[in-house]
Amino acid sequence: MAALAILAAPTLSAQGNGAEDGSHTESPIKFALFSAAWGENTDDGLRLVAQNLTQQAITLEKISFIDLPSENNQTELNLSLRLRAERYAETNLPLVDLLTGDDCVARTMAEGWKLVEISNYTLNPSVRNLIIENTNSFRIYQCVRSARLTWRSAGERADASEGAQKASTEFVGWVLYHFESRSN
């Protein structure tokens, strides 16, 4: 289901580093993470589906989830995921705790909501931290958290000598934790 949602990613936007004039740029990498283990008693890992919106192949090195207000605390997913130009890639990872370090996420999990996806895109960015659908049988809720994507051109090696290695590129923006709750 999340893989289908990411197919719409080119028309969606994620805010990130503001330009000098205060405008926002868009992340050149869209991604979604999901796991059956969130809120369940399983040992399933994480599944990452990512899309490269650039014209060149890149290697997504890391996604860092930043704990606020203490930006020194963060949870990192080390990846080395190669993404061809304007294409998707996916990988499976061991389960990493992405549920701690954010008050909204902790509060929402404590209230019995089920986390279904973490992504850096949304259909409607104006509804973060609001219930966006509320019926007798189904509700959707989103929390926002800061995150940093780190990547390099695919032709560059991370272990290259200093003279041959170019610096990684970083993009600081937000991710959304997408929750759902079903009434009995």
* Average pLDDT rounded to a whole number, residues 3-17: 36
Mean pLDDT for 134-154 is: 82
Residue 135's contacts (CB-CB under 8 Å, 6 or more residues apart) are: none
pLDDT at residue 48 in the model? 96
pLDDT band for position 33 (cuts 50, 70, 90): very high
| Mean pLDDT value of segment 102-124 | 84
pLDDT at 79: 96
> What dihedral do alpha carbons 14, 11, 88, 45 form, nearest 10°?
50
Neighbours of 47 (CB within 10 A): 17
Give pTM, 2 decimals.
0.75
CB 109 within 8 A of CB 130: no
State the Cα–Cα distance between residues 113 and 5, nearest whole angstrom. 20
Kindly report the length of the chain: 184
